[in-house]
Amino acid sequence: MKRSTLAAFRMNAKIFSAVVMVLACCSSLAAARSPKALKSLGQGHRMTSVYNFEDGTGFVADLELIKRTEIYGPDISPLRMVVRYDSDDQVHVHITDSTQTRWEVPQDLIPRPAVPTLALKGESNAAASNGRQLELSYTVEPFGFAITRTSTGECLFNSTPPIDSKTGEAGFNSMVFKDQYLEISTQLPQNNSMFGIGESTRPDGLRLMRNRTYTLWATDMAAYTVDVDLYGAYPFHMDIREGGATHGVLLLNSNGMDIYVGEDLLTYHVIGGVLDFYFFAGPSPLAVVDQYTKLVGRPTPMPYWSFGFHQCRWGYENIDDLRYVVDNYKKANIPLDTIWNDIDYMDAYKDFTFDPIRYDENKVREFVEELHANGQQYVLILDPGISVAYKNYSTLERGLKDDIFLKNEFGNNYLAQVWPGPVFFPDFLHPKATSWWTTEVADFFKKVPFDGLWIDMNEASNFCTGSACSFETSSLGTLGMLRGNDSSNDQCILRCVNGTSRFDNPPYKIDHVGTYNNLGDKTIAMTVKHYNGALEYDAHNLYGLSESIVTQKALQTVTKQRPFILSRSTFVGSGAHTAHWTGDNKATWEDLKYSVVSIINSGMFGVPMVGADICGFAGNTTEELCSRWMQMGAFYPFSRNHAAIGTDSQEPYLWESVAVSSRKALGLRYRLLPHLYTLMFEATKSGAPIVRALFFSFPDDLETLTINHQFLVGNNIMVSPVVYPGHTTVNAYVPKGTWYNLFDFSKVTSKGERFVLSAPADSINVHVHEGQILPMQEARLTSAEVKKTPFTLIVAFGDASFASASGKLFVDNGVDLEMEVRDGSSTFVQYFAERSLQSGSLVGRVISGDYALEQGLVLHNVRLLGVAMSPSKVFVNGQPIAAAEQLKYDANLASVEITGLNVAVGKDFEIKWESQESVGWASQ
Ligand SMILES: *[C@@H]1O[C@H](CO)[C@@H](O)[C@H](O)[C@H]1NC(C)=O
Ligand SMILES: *[C@@H]1O[C@H](CO)[C@@H](O)[C@H](O)[C@H]1NC(C)=O
Ligand SMILES: *[C@@H]1O[C@H](CO)[C@@H](O)[C@H](O)[C@H]1NC(C)=O
Ligand SMILES: *[C@@H]1O[C@H](CO)[C@@H](O)[C@H](O)[C@H]1NC(C)=O
Ligand SMILES: *[C@@H]1O[C@H](CO)[C@@H](O)[C@H](O)[C@H]1NC(C)=O
Ligand SMILES: *[C@@H]1O[C@H](CO)[C@@H](O)[C@H](O)[C@H]1NC(C)=O
């Protein structure tokens, strides 16, 4: 809509008539002040016109500044606000300059409905107004908007400042909109709980702290540095109100920002872009993640094998080191699916090359072929920086030909420095980047048929700061870095000019690590240009996401199979393309403990395939720490042991005690693979995190909001790890209900209270909650072997006289591009069970697909937990089971084990049992 058109609406008598604008929400009188907010950043805006979309899905409004200020630069006025009810559970609020186009997260990175600017006629996907769960209201002067939950009238967001009745002072600034500074606040109750906003390591736990600034700026800062901006950026949080109703708030903006969480307010201080809010109605945590991932991208399916165990280290000197590690895992009977290479394999740290001596490409290929023959995989690392120190490096030459590298302010390729020395960075926003990267990946795959790619250093990390850098060829040889096997030197050898522009040094300083007066500290200079002139200043936080997207496309093209990608830097929407690990942690008990929160947060951000470096990356681990970490890490969605160069080796077979606890914990993980894989399937459909906070399943239990060192796998498996040295018990919070230990089936019945659980050195507590049916297989040393074993169903009943349980199973070949319910290539089964005092039944219903039938998958065993009387008769599809030995009852555990079944996983079945003490089993 043009300015003139909108101006005409001012004359329109219908203006303001059709939308509710009474704002009676959150009328808190407290003066809550953000310490970062400057006083009197203007007096806000007034709404000068509003026009409703004809289809009733929202409106467009014009906002005009009331009073100019010069702090942080001149104001932008007028502004255009578009409000759209995208669906019953989502409201979109978009505010920007009404005349000039501003930077926004590009549509091709996160495809989403375009912001409508004209009256929408006729059909639309947006909801009819009577089903809306959220309602937006606004005030005209000063302008403010509020989001209310329709069912309760509770105010969820309110950008109008509260006024102190005594002093007349406003609690915070009205909305501020300048080129390099946007500020908007919301009033908050003091007793809500908020989660999310990342990425950072959180010693204080899951819940966002009050009076704390969270800074979003993708930075190569070791994850053991707590409470600072790390590799990824997520301006998304979940807000749980008294009573448990939960909503989500996303500010879809890629610029650097501080988010201040105060006692009774939350303030965004953003250094560019637009205000692009999405409010998700929930009302449960799972519903919020569902709504959020529906918008930003559902998690991409991960290959089945990637749920097996992974081993990596930086410092595997040569191919024989890898072979030695793989052999020793086997000798020690510890499962291992995938062996990894960090940068050690490369020739002088050049991407897509192998060191000709230590990692001779032919020997690597032979090794990888052996791995594949043994049902194992190989993943290796790529960094974005492309070496420019060698004249005859074809990857560089093809990149130069396609002109896909980032440009400095003079239009030349931007020079930076990473492990290979001087590099150019590919511009993954460039339309030709995909074909170039795909060619490189294809050539590389021809050399060695690897199974996945690990994309690191993509914040992007730079050993130098500044622009217009240059180097002397003579300086290259003097540093160990280019020898290809000495990575101790990360000193800058380039000569650069530190930028002084308003982008390097913007008027508002976000609280990022690094020097305040240079936003480009140890990363790409802010004045660097991406395709179409996009500034690094705006696109910085998107580098990892854009590389993930291009790498995913490349792998899909080259391997024709489901990609496995592990990215360090991530953004909103990254889960649709990549897995993530929490970065450079340290071998300390604190890091072990903090990993729980980091992993839960990643799942909440829509990146469910996540893990922390098991046993710790930096520093030397200890036997006890590594043992406890192997136990906990066995239940990370992505489970990988990884160490830094210069640290002692930490493969689990190196200590007998670690080997014992690894066999035990990984043994359970491998038995649970069908369940983990089914959770992946569910994540691709609803965003549901694989590992979750306890409050996801027990939202009515306020105590769960404070549990930071236990977690759920799916809905109903609770892991309560030991996170302190010298402990052989865990003081675990056990939400209400009956829980069964998955190792020995012992039972804990809780009213919602703490229990001291025994946790001897070789053991971790893993419990399944009543109501769950778990599909399991048999433990083997690789996931490929597990896949061939018969199934067991664990059915966990509660204590009530009538109890029920349910579960799901998804199976497919594990590598198809799609993970879909469809005929032939997959099977999806649902299980239901119920039991009264004297009888019960378990049914399997095949919802779709012939895969399980074609593969001949069979169910051999059923274990019923919580059955108080020994069954006297068991019928399988109407037939009594053949032999008494097939039925075992353990009165102590109230557990029934039915063995020797031969039921097809791919067909419907029904198992019934009766308990009649008068009728002996033997009478059959
Ligand atoms: C929580 O905060 C709301 C709004 O500030 C208030 O109405 C409610 O009484 C508070 N509840 C408790 C338990 O403090
Ligand atoms: C808020 O945090 C700041 C900085 O850490 C501190 O100086 C101040 O006392 C805190 N205020 C409150 C109310 O806790
Ligand atoms: C450059 O690379 C090509 C292709 O790999 C090779 O044939 C040629 O010998 C190389 N030239 C030099 C000078 O290394
Ligand atoms: C690194 O490589 C150089 C030359 O290839 C070799 O002389 C040196 O011994 C290597 N250093 C280590 C620590 O392996
Ligand atoms: C440029 O900035 C970096 C990081 O802030 C600093 O270490 C370096 O000394 C500066 N260089 C010059 C030439 O000012
Ligand atoms: C780890 O221990 C080794 C001795 O086993 C020692 O040489 C090395 O410096 C230690 N590394 C760290 C990071 O503490």
Among 71, 98, 142, CA closest to 5: 98
The reply to whether 566 falls in a domain is: no
- Evaluate whether residue 275 is within a structural domain: yes
For a ligand 6 pocket test, name from 224, 620, 622, 654 the mutation site with the most ligand atoms within 8 angstroms of its C-beta.
Answer: 620
Residue 893: the pLDDT is 95
Active site residue 584: yes
Distances (CA, A) of 185 to 35, 138, 161, 267, 268: 13, 14, 8, 4, 6
* Residue 36 structure tokens: 């970062």
Residue 178: DSSP 8-state? B
Ligand 1 atom 14: residue of nearest CA: 191
- pLDDT on residue 527: 97
DSSP 50-79: EEE-TTSSEEEEEEEESS---TTS-B--SE
pLDDT at 822: 81
Q: Kindly state whether residue 844 falls inside one of the protein's structural domains.
A: yes
Judge whether 459 counts as a catalytic residue.
Answer: yes
Flag whether 830 is in a domain. Answer: yes
Q: How far is CA 112 from each of CA 122, 133, 276, 577, 882, rounded to the nearest angstrom? A: 20, 21, 12, 16, 58
Report how far ligand 1's centroid is from the alpha carbon of 295 (Å): 32
Task: Answer yes or no: is the C-beta of 505 below 6 A from any ligand 5 atom.
Answer: no
Distance CA 563, CA 547 (A): 14
What is the distance in A from the centroid of ligand 2 to the CA of 253? 27
Q: Is the CB of 242 under 6 A from ligand 1?
A: yes
Range list of β-strands (E), 711-752? 711-713, 717-720, 729-734, 737-741, 747-750
Phi-psi label, residue 70: left if phi above 0, alpha if psi -120 to 50, beta otherwise:
alpha
For ligand 1, atom 5, the nearest C-alpha belongs to 189
CATH of the domain at 9: 2.60.40.1760
Cα–Cα distance for residue pair 50/37, rounded to 1 Å: 29
327 is a catalytic site residue: no
CA Rg, the chain, in Å? Answer: 29
- Distance (Å, whole) CA 484 – CA 454: 19
519-552 burial, b for 16+ CB within 10 Å, e for fewer?
bbbbbbbbbbbbbeebbbbbbbbbbbbbbbbbbb
User: What DSSP state is assigned to residue 88?
Assistant: T
Query: DSSP 3-state helix, strand, coil percentages of the chain (rounded to 5)?
Result: 20, 30, 50
214 CA → ligand 2 middle, Å: 14
Residue 532 φ/ψ region, left for φ over 0, alpha for ψ in the -120 to 50 degree band, beta for the rest: left
pLDDT in tens, 464-474: 999 999 988 77
CA-517 nearest atom, ligand 5: 5
- Cα separation, 203 vs 37, in Å, equals 26
**Residue 701 to residues 4, 283, 707, 734, 786: CA-CA distances in angstroms?**
55, 15, 11, 11, 37
Atom 14 in ligand 4: residue holding the nearest Cα: 485
Considering only CA atoms, which of 253, 249, 259 is closest in space to residue 288?
Answer: 249
> Rounded to the nearest whole angstrom, what is the distance from the C-alpha of residue 242 to the centroid of ligand 1?
7
| Ligand 5 atom nearest 515 alpha carbon | 5
CA of 271 to the centre of ligand 5 (A): 22
Mutate to test the pocket of ligand 6, among 625, 626, 648 (most ligand atoms within 8 A of CB): 648
Around 142, how many Cα atoms within 13 Å sit in the side-chain half-sphere?
19
**Which ligand sits nearest to residue 211's alpha carbon?**
2
Contact 746, 763 (CB under 8 A): no
The structural domain count of the chain equals 2
CA-nearest residue for atom 10, ligand 1, is 191
Tell me which residue has its CA closest to atom 5 in ligand 5.
515
Q: Is 692 exposed, middle or buried (0-12, 13-18, 19+ CB in 10 A)?
A: buried
pLDDT at 890: 96
Neighbours of 841 (CB within 10 A): 14
Positions of the chain with pLDDT under 70: 1-40, 117-129, 475-489, 917-924
Q: Could you give phi then psi for residue 553, rounded to 5 degrees? A: -60, -45
Among protein residues, the one with the nearest Cα to ligand 5's atom 10 is: 498
Is 638 domain-assigned? no
| Residue 260 CA to ligand 5 centre (angstroms) | 29
Decide: 315 in ligand 6 pocket, CB within 6 A: no
- 11 CA → ligand 5 middle, Å: 57
Pocket test for ligand 4, best of 486, 487, 488, 645 (most atoms within 8 A of CB): 486
Q: Is 622 in the pocket of ligand 6 (CB under 6 A)?
A: no
CB of 485 closer than 6 angstroms to any ligand 4 atom: yes
128's enclosing H/E stretch is: none
Instruction: Give me the phi and psi of 252, to 5 degrees please.
Output: -80, 90
Instruction: Please check whether residue 415 lies inside any domain of the structure.
Output: no
Length of the chain: 924
Q: Give the closest residue to 733 by CA, choosing from 767, 773, 763.
A: 767
User: Which of these is catalytic: 459, 624, 682, 785?
Assistant: 459
| pLDDT, position 174 | 93
- Residue 556 falls within a domain, yes or no? no
CA of 489 to the centre of ligand 4 (A): 14
Which candidate in 75, 86, 220, 456 is catalytic?
A: 456
Q: Confirm or reject: Cβ of 646 under 6 Å from ligand 6.
A: yes
DSSP 8-state symbol, 662:
H
CATH number at 703 reads 2.60.40.1180
Nearest CA to ligand 6 atom 4: 648
User: Which residue is it, tokens 């930490």?
Assistant: 650
Per-residue tokens: 47: 């709404």
Maximum pairwise Cα distance, the chain: 94
**378 alpha carbon – ligand 3 mean position (Å):** 28
Distance separating alpha carbons of residues 277 and 104, to the nearest angstrom: 12
The CA 391 to ligand 3 mean position distance, Å, reads 9
Q: How far apart are CA 602 and CA 598, in angstroms?
A: 6
Cα(414)–Cα(405) distance, integer angstroms: 7
CB 537 within 8 A of CB 481: no
SS (H, E, C) 390-424: CCCCHHHHHHHHHCCECECCCCCECEEEECCEEEE
User: 817, 560 in Cβ contact below 8 A?
Assistant: yes
In a domain, 734, yes or no: yes
Contacts of 168 (CB under 8 A, 6+ apart): none
Catalytic, out of 351, 538, 584, 682: 584
Contact (CB, 8 A) for 429 and 531: yes
Q: Tokens 């448990």 correspond to what residue?
A: 244
Substitution site in 585, 647, 654, 655 for ligand 6 pocket (most atoms within 8 Å of beta carbon)? 647
619 Cβ closer than 6 Å to some ligand 6 atom: yes
**According to the model, what pLDDT value does residue 764 have?**
98
Q: Which tokens hold the place of 676?
A: 């983990």
Q: Whose CA is nearest to atom 4 of ligand 1?
A: 189
CA–CA separation, 303 vs 377, rounded Å? Answer: 11
Residue finishing a domain among 283, 312, 337: 283
Cα atoms in the 13 Å half-sphere on the side-chain side of 115: 25
Nearest-atom index, ligand 1, CA of 28? 5
**Residue 817, exposed/middle/buried by CB under 10 A (0-12, 13-18, 19+)?**
middle
Ligand 6 centroid to Cα of residue 617, in Å, is: 13
The torsion angle over the Cα atoms of residues 398, 404, 406 and 407, rounded to 10 degrees, is 90
- Report the separation in Å between the CA atom of 619 and the middle of ligand 5, taken as the mean of its atom positions: 29
pLDDT attached to residue 31: 43
45 pairs with which residues across the strands? 65
Q: Looking at ligand 4, which atom is closest to the CA of residue 483?
A: 2
**Alpha-carbon gap, residue 360 to 347, rounded angstroms:** 10
Q: State which ligand 5 atom lies nearest to the alpha carbon of 498.
A: 1
Buried b or exposed e, range 52-78, using 16+ CB within 10 angstroms: bbeeebbbbbbbebbeebebbeebbbb
For residues 293 and 489, what is the distance between their CA atoms, to the nearest angstrom? 41
Report CA-CA distances (Å) from 657 to 280, 622, 628, 780: 47, 11, 10, 20
442 CB-near residues (< 8 Å, 6+ apart): 554, 557, 558
Per the CB < 8 A criterion, the answer to whether 21 and 158 are in contact is no
For residue 131, report the distance from its CA to the centre of ligand 1, in Å: 27
- 895: Cβ contacts below 8 Å, ≥ 6 apart: 745, 863, 864, 865, 867, 889
Pairing label, strands 565-567, 452-455 = parallel
Query: 3 in ligand 4 pocket by Cβ < 6 Å?
Result: no
For the CA atoms of 139, 140, 145, 147, what is the dihedral angle to 10 degrees? 50
Domain boundary among 283, 317, 339: 283
Ligand 4 contacts CB of residue 646 (under 6 A): no
Q: What is the Cα–Cα distance from 883 to 871, expressed in whole angstroms? A: 13
Residue 749 CB less than 6 A away from ligand 6: no
Strands 338-341 and 377-382, by their bridges, are parallel
> What is the best residue among 470, 490, 498 to mutate for testing ligand 5's pocket, by most ligand atoms within 8 Å of CB?
498
Q: Is the peptide bond before 693 cis (omega within 30 degrees of 0)?
A: no
Q: Where is the domain boundary, 283, 304, 322?
A: 283
Q: What angle do CA 266, 271, 272 make, to 5 degrees?
A: 115
Task: Write the secondary structure of 367-385 as one string of H (helix), E (strand) and C (coil).
Answer: HHHHHHHCCCEEEEEECCC
How far, in Å, from the CA of 730 to the mean position of ligand 5?
49
Q: Is 649 in the pocket of ligand 6 (CB under 6 A)?
A: no
Ligand closest in space to the Cα of 619: 6
Give the domain extent around 203: 4-28+36-283
Q: Is the CB of 647 under 6 A from ligand 6?
A: yes
Which ligand is nearest the CA of 480, by number? 4
Alpha carbon distance 265, 313 (integer Å): 44
The predicted model scores a pTM of: 0.94
The reply to whether ligand 1 has any atom less than 6 angstroms from the CB of 189 is yes
Among all bound ligands, the one having the nearest atom to the CA of 465 is 5
Mark out the alpha helices in 259-351 (DSSP H runs).
285-296, 319-331
Q: Identify which of 219, 463, 465, 526 to mutate to test ligand 5's pocket (most ligand atoms within 8 A of the CB).
A: 465
